[in-house]
Structure 1
Amino acid sequence: MSSATEIYFYHLDQRSLDEVLPTLLERSLERGWRAAVQAASEERVEALSTRLWTYHEESFLPHGTRRDGSPETHPIYLTVGEDNPNAAQVRFLVDGAELADASDYVRVVYMFDGRDADAVARARADWQAAKEKGHDVSYWQQDESGRWQKKA
């Protein structure tokens, strides 16, 4: 992959991660991308897994975790590590999860709670680090209706 990975920063303040993440994962799958979601704890991975099974009455998002085995078969893989066993093209980082090397991905998405001062400060530092590494960086924020607007 190119060293100019797209790095998106999603500033959550109108809707929660649990509301937004399933839609972004659906869009990734529609593009033909496999996805990895990296959380900060195993408990959060399990909560996200449950959410992806139940977020919509008529459907679910096919996914797996380390506990499910055969990670290469899952179009969406939930993890606490930096591994990429399902050959994902897009990686979502939630709850302050960190990724040392983004170059294996077409896109890396940092999702952070705009109401959490520590999360905002961490996102600013991650933004600067991504720019310094030469990645194509953009910042997205929700408007009052919950639509994503590119701010930078």
Structure 2
Amino acid sequence: MQVDFYHLTAAPLDRVLPAVAEKVLAGGGRLLVVSGDAEQRGALDRVLWLHPAESFLPHAQAGDGDDHAQPVLIAGDVSPANAARHVALADGIWRDEALAFDRVFHFFDEDRIRDARGAWKALAEREGVQRRYWKQNEAGRWEQAA
């Protein structure tokens, strides 16, 4: 299982998450997007409706319809009602339940860097967990830093 830590410095989550969702779907996967903040879930729902303008990124918020049918499901907890094997922790909070997925995208900004470092260190002791740390360069491109 793989955990990718994404340190948001140059681009905000609302620009990064749609690109990740597109890649997961293009690979035939499903994505669960988790945030404990209802306001953030609503904002992410709107962002996914609007991005990209030339195509459609199918998604819904948990409880708004047939959760199981949604390729991208936005939820308040780590319950893959859509049978996702990829999870995006959008609110910067690490959850050990994410380790049940094949791949975790852990997004965090400067406000959550201390928590992310703690999760990084704790995962070093977990057998079978591959960790990667991504940061944005000055041009806004992602570079693997660890």
Q: Which TM-score bucket, shorter chain as reference?
A: over 0.9
Aligned to 1:127: 120
Q: Determine if contact 2:59/2:73 at 8 Å carries over to the other structure.
A: yes
**SS of the residue 2:73 aligns to:** strand
Aligned to 1:148: 142
- Return 5+ residue gaps in structure 1 as ranges: none
Counterpart Cα distance in 2 of 1:53 and 1:151: 32
Is 2:31 aligned against 1:35?
yes
Structure 1 segments (4+ residues) deviating >6 Å: none
Aligned to 1:104: 100
* 1:2-151 paired onto structure 2 within 5 Å: 5-113=1-109, 116=110, 118-134=111-127, 135-151=129-145
**SS of the residue 2:11 aligns to:** coil
1:35-64 per-residue CA deviation (whole Å, 9 max, x = no partner) reads: 000012111111100110012221231001
Counterpart Cα distance in 2 of 1:12 and 1:66: 25
CA displacement at 1:69 relative to structure 2: 2.0
**SS of the residue 2:96 aligns to:** coil
CA displacement at 1:34 relative to structure 2: 0.3
Q: Determine if contact 1:40/1:96 at 8 Å carries over to the other structure.
A: no
Q: Determine if contact 2:93/2:115 at 8 Å carries over to the other structure.
A: no
Cα RMSD after superposing both structures: 1.3
Whichever residue aligns with residue 60 of structure 1, its letter is F
CA displacement at 1:104 relative to structure 2: 2.4
CA displacement at 1:100 relative to structure 2: 2.2
Identity %: 37
- Return 5+ residue gaps in structure 2 as ranges: none
Normalised to the residue count of structure 2, the TM-score between the two structures is: 0.93
1:58-89 per-residue CA deviation (whole Å, 9 max, x = no partner) reads: 12310011231211100000011121111111
Whichever residue aligns with residue 59 of structure 2, its letter is H
Counterpart Cα distance in 2 of 1:100 and 1:52: 26
Normalised to the residue count of structure 1, the TM-score between the two structures is: 0.89
Matched residues, number = 145
Counterpart Cα distance in 1 of 2:7 and 2:99: 22
